[in-house]
Structure 1
Amino acid sequence: MSTLESDVRDLADRYDAGAIDEVGREELDTLDAFLTALESGEVRAAEPADDGWAANEWVKRGILLNFGLRDIRAFDHGGVAYHDVLPLRGTDDLPERGTRNTPSGTVIRRGAYVGSDAIMMSPSFVNIGAHVGDGTLVDSCDTVGSCAQIGGDVKLGANTLIGGVLEPVEAEPVVVEDGVSLGAGCRVTSGFEVGANSVVGENTLLTPRIPVYDLVEEEVIYGRLPPERRAFIRYVESSVGEHDLFDGGAYKPAVVATHVEESTLEATEREDALRDN
């Protein structure tokens, strides 16, 4: 167990037991060191495991401590006043790693990691505990929720929502693995895992409550999209059946997954032009 993990666990145990009467310099130093470790990628809210991904509970407890032990303060960001317990993340380290964040609304909260050669278009928002990998594009009006794990060379289409999963601490966050392309308007929520090198059509909703009809393995699965799939939203008959309030029966959303076609991959590669210069 690292010294930082030990310090965070000890602080969390004291907080849960109501044993912190006053937050002093020692506690704040631990919280600041923890946020810096998140921003550097030294620690993550979730990591790959043998059978998928697993949440790092102590990391999520550390994030919650920053809300429980800090006071709300007034901050100023580019002339815009706001009130929070944390300032925004510093971005001076981004240019030296080839990462761009465009003006007028790009917001990266303290405790978020953004990799090298990434692009943050405005307006977009990356929340505390999120991890955005190298070469990834976060497009306009995108939200990357708390603790979400976004891989490298991912394309998040405009107006995409990646949900945050902070509590309970044992719950897995949303995961979008390397090489994924999400079309505009996609929603990925509630700990759903999107497998590597998949291409998801625009306005597709990926959540554990919606079935994924995998035509490759010919099975119905929940909570994940296997790697190298092309997925899109469809509507299938609901068990509700016919009802007096509507004609023709009821339908529910579902996701259909097929093989990724070579032509689809070539189309997504055109996005590489955005990463030049």
Structure 2
Amino acid sequence: MSLETEVDDLWHRYDDGDLTAADAGEEAYAVLEAFLDALETGEVRAAEKRGGEWESNEWVKRGILLNFGLRGIEGREYGDVTYHDVLPLRETDDLPGRGTRNTPDGTVIRRGAYLGSDCIMMSPSFVNIGAHVGDGTLVDSCDTVGSCAQIGSDVKLGANTLIGGVLEPVEDAPVVVEDGASLGAGCRVTSGFVVGENSVVAENTLLTPRIPVYDLVDEEVVYGRLPPERRAFTRFVESSVGDHDLFEGGAYKPAVVAMDVEETTLEGVEREEALRE
């Protein structure tokens, strides 16, 4: 049987109540370990782009949920700290051979996370289970990459950036940051939002499907995605609640403005690339 078939079989037994942590045997745990290994090598991913759209691989998300449902909490060691979780942290012995480095004192990579070649993880930072971080990507200090998030190649995540996780429902696509994107410090990307390739996002920008993106290039308002090759930043637009008596002088709501990336200087991005070469 394929790994997908084995995971689906375990899931149906677990979902029907026929399989619990108490009676899961060596065979079930062997499947779960093989599944986590496949995530870490990039053999399987929580989401993939098909026909121009990102789609969730539901069986992969179920495999992650099985690792939570069929394992008990254990005390584990991380340096001088004892933590309690159902999974250990990811082994990192394979990273140096691919030119990937994680700095000391706080770079945490959970079991089942993928890191590509020539990546840099600055401390403190955290990459969760099911996340996929592409080649040449920088995960800066105080960054969080949530469960199942898909980060492309040559991406720069500025310091204190939050990439949200989307594990449930399993059919929902996770947060995606496509190849070549650069996010300034303090950005937050949540709820399955897709950042298009080669976009530059200003510091402290919130990207979520609930906030409109005013795309000045195609002259349209879009939700849940930032088109490729855009420079994005936050502005405030008039809100309908401004007509209420309590809002003297009007009321405003946040929005994201997207312009052609070529309309702004790329000195900062170019300088970053030069430092990494």
TM bin (shorter chain) = over 0.9
Matched residue, 1:165: 166
Matched residue, 1:18: 17
Q: Would the alpha carbon gap of residues 109 and 212 (structure 1) be closer, same or farther in structure 2, given more than 3 Å must change?
A: same
Name the aligned partner's letter for residue 200 of structure 1: V
State the SS of the aligned residue for 1:261.
helix
**Separation (CA, whole Å) in 1 of partners of 2:111 and 2:266:** 34
Name the aligned partner's letter for residue 197 of structure 2: A
CA-to-aligned-CA distance 1:39-66 (integer Å, 9 cap, x gap): 0000000000114100000000000000
Q: What is the RMSD of the two structures over their aligned residues, measured on CA atoms?
A: 1.2
The question of whether the paired residues in 1 share the 8 Å contact of 2:231 and 2:264 is answered with: no
CA-to-aligned-CA distance 1:157-205 (integer Å, 9 cap, x gap): 0000000000000001000000000000000000000000000000000
Matched residue, 1:250: 251
State the SS of the aligned residue for 1:220.
strand
Matched residue, 2:2: 3
Q: CA deviation at 1:94?
A: 0.5
Matched residue, 2:37: 36
Matched residue, 1:103: 104
CA-to-aligned-CA distance 1:5-51 (integer Å, 9 cap, x gap): 01000000110011115011001000000000000000000000114
**Separation (CA, whole Å) in 2 of partners of 1:228 and 1:134:** 20
The question of whether the paired residues in 2 share the 8 Å contact of 1:185 and 1:203 is answered with: yes
Q: CA deviation at 1:262?
A: 6.6
TM-score (norm 2): 0.97
Q: Would the alpha carbon gap of residues 271 and 241 (structure 1) be closer, same or farther in structure 2, given more than 3 Å must change?
A: same
CA-to-aligned-CA distance 1:249-270 (integer Å, 9 cap, x gap): 1110000000002753343021
The question of whether the paired residues in 2 share the 8 Å contact of 1:75 and 1:83 is answered with: yes
Matched residue, 2:270: 269
State the SS of the aligned residue for 1:191.
coil
TM-score (norm 1): 0.97
State the SS of the aligned residue for 1:158.
coil
The question of whether the paired residues in 2 share the 8 Å contact of 1:89 and 1:112 is answered with: yes
Q: CA deviation at 1:79?
A: 1.6
Name the aligned partner's letter for residue 9 of structure 1: D
The question of whether the paired residues in 2 share the 8 Å contact of 1:72 and 1:84 is answered with: yes
Matched residue, 1:210: 211
The question of whether the paired residues in 2 share the 8 Å contact of 1:242 and 1:248 is answered with: no
**Separation (CA, whole Å) in 2 of partners of 1:241 and 1:40:** 52
The question of whether the paired residues in 2 share the 8 Å contact of 1:107 and 1:126 is answered with: yes
Question: Which consecutive unaligned segments of at least 5 residues does structure 2 have?
Answer: none
**Separation (CA, whole Å) in 2 of partners of 1:16 and 1:152:** 36
The question of whether the paired residues in 2 share the 8 Å contact of 1:234 and 1:253 is answered with: yes
CA-to-aligned-CA distance 1:112-161 (integer Å, 9 cap, x gap): 00000000000000000000000000000000000000000000000000
Consecutive aligned runs of 4 or more in structure 1 exceeding 6 Å deviation: none
Q: Would the alpha carbon gap of residues 112 and 257 (structure 1) be closer, same or farther in structure 2, given more than 3 Å must change?
A: same
Superposition map of 1:141-220 within 5 A: 141-220=142-221
The question of whether the paired residues in 2 share the 8 Å contact of 1:119 and 1:275 is answered with: no
**Separation (CA, whole Å) in 2 of partners of 1:229 and 1:263:** 10
Question: Which consecutive unaligned segments of at least 5 residues does structure 1 have?
Answer: none
Matched residue, 2:51: 50
Q: CA deviation at 1:273?
A: 4.2
The question of whether the paired residues in 2 share the 8 Å contact of 1:234 and 1:256 is answered with: yes
Q: CA deviation at 1:274?
A: 4.4
**Separation (CA, whole Å) in 2 of partners of 1:73 and 1:272:** 42
Name the aligned partner's letter for residue 166 of structure 1: L
What percentage of residue pairs aligned between the two structures are identical? 78
